[in-house]
Structures are given as structure tokens and as C-alpha cells.
Amino acid sequence: MAFPAIRFHQYLALALLLTVPKASAMDTAALRPATADAMAQAVSPQAISDYRRKLQEYQQARAAFDQEASDYWSAIADKRRGRNAKRREHLPIDPDDYVLTQPPVYNGPKRPINPLPEQEPERPPRERKYIPVVADLLKAAAEQFQFRPQLPASETEFKRAYARYAAAAGLTREQAVRVYSFETGGTGNYDVQSGIEHGGSRAISTAIGYNQLLTTNSVELIAEQGPELIRALTAKAAPLSGPARRAIDYKLAVLKRMVALARSVPDDWSAHEKLADTPQGWAMHAMVLDIDVGPMLQTHKLLTSVIFARAKGYARPLTAAELEMMNLTGDGTGLDMVTMPQALRERVPTSNFFQRSGYERNPVAIRHNTVAKLLAVTDSRMDSNSNLPGARELAASF
């Protein structure tokens, strides 16, 4: 989402600053220490005493809350470990395996304002990590693998290729369309990137495409689904001849090199993430844009969750909202929610599926604070977005 670079109050402050003569501004800077001393002398002993009393009250209240919150999130972690152990032993999960209370909320006094002038500690500027965009991915593919992904002639062409492969692989139209509606807002193109949509001007992550694959997702899928990707592309090449056959044979050779590289590191998320954050990883991520490989990667992002659920004995078809939970939170955590009976979904707080820092940064999980509510709001978003043009076009492609 784009925001104005300067809001009104910021603009007003900037305008006032620019009208101050330079000499006056320099005088102000020179007078700061003296001004601070004068302000300190002007503060009454009573004001200082009140501040210290309020600060102590705040610190005591905050310490009590921090201890309560620490105990709560420790219990969340303990219950999660217990559920994982039960699943390994194929034992049933019951309500006692979850924390059934909501996280504590701090309701104590606010930190008081110090009446004495405080010197702001100097903080070194924090360098923002660069997020590659489509142009970076294409450049990396050219430099690292001497390859340029074959971009679709139109958005419709990519949607049809995705629909064909997804349906043949076992995804339903409802699953594919509703997840696309949730992930892209119902209007996203094959190359839509998180942050650069609906008027946004800056990428906020490397998530790209219908199912918003991150660079690490692409590396992981190329590593784990590599043989299937190669088999499918080989089958597509078989009936071709001439320039079309030579082009797809070259693409196949590049894909094989990528698969070998992705499989050269340990098969775990952290290793894939490290590789993804390199030019070679960016080049692999460029494959999500390719008309042949991109639809397969988008499909397998969801299909791996379907297969995971089946392998764990969950035979009922996943609803799109359930599939999205697995897509967002990871297969193990998502299946934890999916396998929960409805009565328990109404009781179990969403906090059971988060680390504390992730939960406190997630207003959706906080506002819709039970599994049932979170699934319901996901379904509601899917309902409304499925009526938008991109979603309707994808539905028609099946």
C-alpha cells in the first residue's frame, strides 16, 4: 500500500523549518546545552518527585505483566512440544493440549514523561535489507545461468497454463481460485509482487505470483520437486521440433542445473533461505515467471500441503481457507488447525500457533483470536475477492 511521502503535519513542520534563517537555526543549536540547563532548573522538586513515583509504579506494573506474558508464552511453547510428541506417537489431541486463554494484555499505567530534559542516545542508521524485484530476478537469471525465463504473451495465457497443470495435479478450481483471491486480492497478475500492487511502489517481500512464493519457497520447491518439474518439462518437449524444441531443451538444461544446485545444500528451510538470498537464488526465483515452469511452481506451493495432509491421514478434501492456513503458517502448524473439530476451533486461541513476536505483529490474528474466527475471516475475504476480474478469469481458465 502506498502512503504519501510527507503527511500534512510533517509538511507543516518542514515548511516552518525552511522559513527559519540559517543564523537563527545555528544560534538555537549553540544554545541547546544552556537551554537544557535552564529547563532543568525550572522543574520543581515536586514535579521530579511525582515523576519518580509514577515511574516506579509503571516499572512495577510492567515487570508484573512481563512475567505474566513470559509464563503464558512459555506455556504455549510447552503445549506445542507436547502436541508434536503426541503426533509422533499417533496419540489423539484433546483440549488440554492447548492453552485456552487469550494472551495477557498490559493494562497498567503508561510510562510517565520525564520533566527533566533527556539526551537522546545516538543510534546508527539501520540499513534496510534490499528486496529484489522482477528486474533483479531476470538480471540474475541472465548472469548466473545465461537464461531468460519465457514470459507469457498475456495474463490469460499464464492463467490457462496454471489451471491446466493445477487441475491435472489434483488441485480443485475452488482451492486454486480462492487461494489466488486471498493472496492477490483477486486482481493480481502472474508477476505481482508483495507491496507492488494496488498502487504500492515498494516491494515489502520477495513474494511473487498467484500464491505469493518467496525466494526461499522457489529454492525449496526446485530442490524437493525437481524430478517432477524435469519430468513434466521433458514430456512437454517430446512432441516439439525445430526452434521450439531447441528453446525448451535449453530451458530443461538450465532447470537441471538449478535442481542440482538447490539439492547441493541440506534439505531444510534455513539452508534454502541462505541460498535464496544470493544471485543464484534470485535466478531460481525468476522461474516463477516462466510460462512452463512458473505454473508448476505455483501449483506445488499448494499441492505439497494437500499431499502432506493426506500423508498424515487427513482424507477429507481441504477447503480453500484450510489450505490457505497451511500455505501461510507451514504444513505442520496449518494441519494442527485443520484437523481440529469445529467445537474446539471455537475455543482455541490463535496464539497457540505463533511465536510471541510474530503474534504481537499480526493484527489479524489478534483481532480474530480463535481458530474459528481466523478461518471465517479468511473465507469472507475469499468470498468478496473471488468476484473480482482476475479471480473470475482464473475460474474460467479451468
Shared domain for 37 and 149, answered yes or no, is no
Q: Which residue has the higher pLDDT, 313 or 229?
A: 229
Q: What is the CATH number of the domain that holds 165?
A: 1.10.530.10
Query: Residue 90 — pLDDT band, cuts 50, 70, 90?
Result: confident
Range 71-76 contact pairs with CB under 8 angstroms and sequence separation of 24 or more? 72/99, 72/101, 72/103, 72/104, 73/103, 73/355, 73/356, 75/99, 76/351, 76/352, 76/354, 76/356
Domain limits at 15?
Answer: 8-42
Query: Residue 208 — pLDDT band, cuts 50, 70, 90?
Result: very high
Q: Is the pLDDT at 32 greater than 90, yes or no?
A: no
> In the prediction, which pLDDT does 18 show?
33
Helix (H, G, I), strand (E, B) or coil at 213: strand
Shared domain for 60 and 146, answered yes or no, is no
322 falls within a domain: yes
CB 241 within 8 A of CB 204: no
Per-residue pLDDT, averaged over 77-102, amounts to 93
Q: Which residues pair with 370 in a beta bridge?
A: 349
173 falls within a domain: yes
The distance of Cα 262 from the centroid of its chain, to the nearest Å, equals 22
Query: Residue 1 — pLDDT band, cuts 50, 70, 90?
Result: very low
Shared domain for 245 and 141, answered yes or no, is yes
Most confident of 195-209, 330-344, 372-386: 372-386
Global pTM reads 0.80
**pLDDT, tens digit (0-9, with 9 covering 90-100), for 133-162:** 999 999 999 999 999 999 999 999 999 999
Least confident of 27-31, 137-141, 311-315, 337-341: 27-31
For the chain, what is the domain count?
3
Cell numbers 492456513: residue: 325
Shared domain for 305 and 318, answered yes or no, is yes
Q: What is the residue type of 357? A: S
Shared domain for 56 and 140, answered yes or no, is no
Query: Residue 19 — pLDDT band, cuts 50, 70, 90?
Result: very low
**pLDDT, tens digit (0-9, with 9 covering 90-100), for 257-311:** 999 999 999 999 999 999 999 999 999 999 999 999 999 999 999 999 999 999 9
> In the prediction, which pLDDT does 95 show?
95
Q: Which cell is 153 given?
A: 504473451
Shared domain for 269 and 356, answered yes or no, is yes
Q: What is each CA distance from 327 to 35, 300, 381, in whole angstroms?
A: 57, 11, 16
**pLDDT, tens digit (0-9, with 9 covering 90-100), for 232-255:** 999 999 999 999 999 999 999 999
Shared domain for 302 and 290, answered yes or no, is yes
Q: Which residues contact 192 (CB under 8 A, 6 or more apart)?
A: 184, 208, 209
DSSP calls for 144-195: HHS------SSHHHHHHHHHHHHHHHT--HHHHHHHHHHHHTT---TT-BTT
Q: Is the pLDDT at 218 greater than 60, yes or no?
A: yes
Question: Within the chain, what is the greatest distance between any pair of CA atoms?
Answer: 91
369 falls within a domain: yes
170 falls within a domain: yes
Q: Which residues pair with 213 in a beta bridge?
A: 208
Shared domain for 64 and 196, answered yes or no, is no
> In the prediction, which pLDDT does 23 show?
38
Query: Residue 333 — pLDDT band, cuts 50, 70, 90?
Result: confident
Shared domain for 345 and 282, answered yes or no, is yes
Shared domain for 282 and 325, answered yes or no, is yes
Separation CA 232–CA 151 (nearest Å): 18
**pLDDT, tens digit (0-9, with 9 covering 90-100), for 270-283:** 999 999 999 999 99
Q: What is each CA distance from 122 to 37, 125, 127, 136, 151, in whole angstroms?
A: 20, 9, 15, 34, 48
Q: Which residue has the higher pLDDT, 123 or 379?
A: 379
Shared domain for 285 and 356, answered yes or no, is yes
146 falls within a domain: yes
> In the prediction, which pLDDT does 25 show?
40
267 falls within a domain: yes
103 falls within a domain: no
114 falls within a domain: no
Shared domain for 28 and 58, answered yes or no, is no
> In the prediction, which pLDDT does 40 show?
55
